[in-house]
Amino acid sequence: MDEEYDVIVLGTGLKECILSGLLSVDGLKVLHMDRNDYYGGASTSLNLTQLWKRFRGDAPPPEHLGSSREYNVDMIPKFMMANGALVRVLIHTDVTKYLNFKAVDGSFVYNKGKIYKVPATDVEALKSPLMGLFEKRRARKFFIYVQDYDTSDPKSHEGLDLNQVTARQLISKYGLEDDTVDFIGHALALQLDDSYLDKPAKDFVERVKIYAESLARFQGGSPYIYPLYGLGELPQAFARLSAVYGGTYMLNKPECKVEFDDDGKAIGVTSEGETAKCKKVVCDPSYLPDKVQKIGKVARAICIMSHPIPDTHDSHSAQVILPQKQLGRKSDLYLFCCSYAHNVAPKGKYIAFVTTQAETDQPEVELKPGIDLLGPVDEIFYDTYDRFEPSNDHGADGCFISTSYDATTHFETTVQDVVKIYSHITGKVLDLSVDLSAASAASEE
């Protein structure tokens, strides 16, 4: 282990694995270590026995839930946008050859107490029961504008400079009602709150575009895809990739203490009496707790069910977003559902997550509106975890720390963090212009 590396990565969470893969592909010499004896860190995937041990202690899980090893329950479940940044990163690193994806059945939004399919195109807008007749026409015009919008073609801008015009101004031009703005902003553009309304509209329009393009890619009921056997496959796929490029992975390395020189710059990592030297350290917040600050916490419920979420057209996999305004909250509530169709549970079983940014100390009360939508559940586990972000100066100490995973059930915010850290480390902008067809093989089963 007494060698010198360009970068040492600590923790095998999703963000760390993606970064390790990107840096390896760039030709950097990477050592990747984890104090645990399993891959995934906070974003690991558990079988039923492990899930039980984590939340219920030593009691064995009941037999009626089926075989433990048929469960792959992701602790940080997130769907991937078929045309989004993560899929581009996976193709860029060629890690897609180790993974099989399958389209997600449904994308839904909660409005006035009911679940509706999210309309994402002019055609769907006309059919959607979410809106009345006149609102449908207005929404249709808005979607046509978004579909035709092309940064490089001024004719498609209809005289609007989206770097200047705010999302609120663009929406008012089409006269859309508040409920319509709610589902477009939160279920299509995947905004976390309403602050986007007063920012330039370009990002908002591009997000809606990515959603519609992703939806069109697999002709499915949603813009999302998910790996068969769940996200636990991702860290292992990146470990394989890293090995191809000469990177080294080591699990079960206790302590993993980062060493600093007199100027406070990271120079290596010590474990079991041996020190590996390096120029830079990448890690999750748990490895450098004195260089991060708490920014909130996530409340979640993990449920095992024997049926799909009601009113989702029997979707075997689905996301439902409950916009904050609909619940009188400051942050959205997310429902994630996956099942035996993606090989994450035995036949006939469904795994559902209800997650949100916690606003009180009563997660069960906060999550109730989402849990009420699930119908009867076989088992339910409640959990909260703190979120941290780096508070250090990475230029001074050479430590690049990822932000804890948020409550969203899609990958967009996770990838933004990865791309930002990549640029800080390499001084380069990550090129994500790739041939998207490389990730479609198994999605059309």
Q: Beta-carbon neighbour count of residue 189 at 10 Å?
A: 21
CA 371, CA 41: separation in Å to the nearest integer?
A: 27
Give the rounded distance of the alpha carbon of 160 from its chain centre. Answer: 32
Please state, in angstroms and rounded to a whole number, the distance separating the CA atoms of residues 224 and 317: 10
- Model confidence, pTM: 0.91
Residue 441's pLDDT is what? 40
The span from the CA of 139 to the CA of 152, in Å, is 24
**Tokens encoding 280:** 């830079």
Residue 95, C-beta contacts closer than 8 angstroms, at least 6 positions apart: 21, 234, 237, 238, 240, 241
Per-residue pLDDT of the chain (445 residues; tens, 9 = 90+): 668 999 999 999 999 999 999 999 999 999 999 999 889 988 999 999 999 999 999 889 999 999 999 999 999 999 999 999 899 999 888 888 888 999 999 999 999 999 999 998 888 889 999 999 999 999 999 999 999 999 899 899 999 999 999 999 999 999 999 999 999 999 999 998 899 999 999 999 999 999 999 998 877 789 999 999 999 888 889 888 888 898 899 999 998 999 999 999 999 999 999 999 999 999 999 999 999 999 999 999 999 999 999 999 999 999 999 999 999 999 999 999 999 999 999 999 999 999 999 999 999 999 999 999 999 999 999 999 999 999 999 999 999 999 999 999 888 889 999 999 999 999 999 988 877 776 654 444 4
- Give the per-residue pLDDT at 2: 66
pLDDT, position 1: 62
Phi then psi dihedrals of residue 334, to 5 deg: -120, 140
Residue with structure tokens 């050859």? 97
**Assigned token pair, 422:** 């990549």
Q: How far apart (Å, rounded) are the C-alpha atoms in residues 297 and 388?
A: 9
How many degrees, rounded to 5, is the angle at CA 316 between CA 315 and CA 319?
65
| Rounded Cα gap, residues 171 and 205, in angstroms | 10
Residue 165, amino acid: V
Contact predicate 103/224, CB 8 Å: yes
As a whole number of angstroms, the distance between CA 409 and CA 335 comes to 7
C-alpha angle 11/396/402, rounded to 5°? Answer: 30
Give the integer Cα–Cα distance in Å for 253 and 275: 12
The phi, psi pair for 366, rounded to 5°, reads -65, -35
Task: Specify the DSSP class assigned to residue 154.
Answer: G
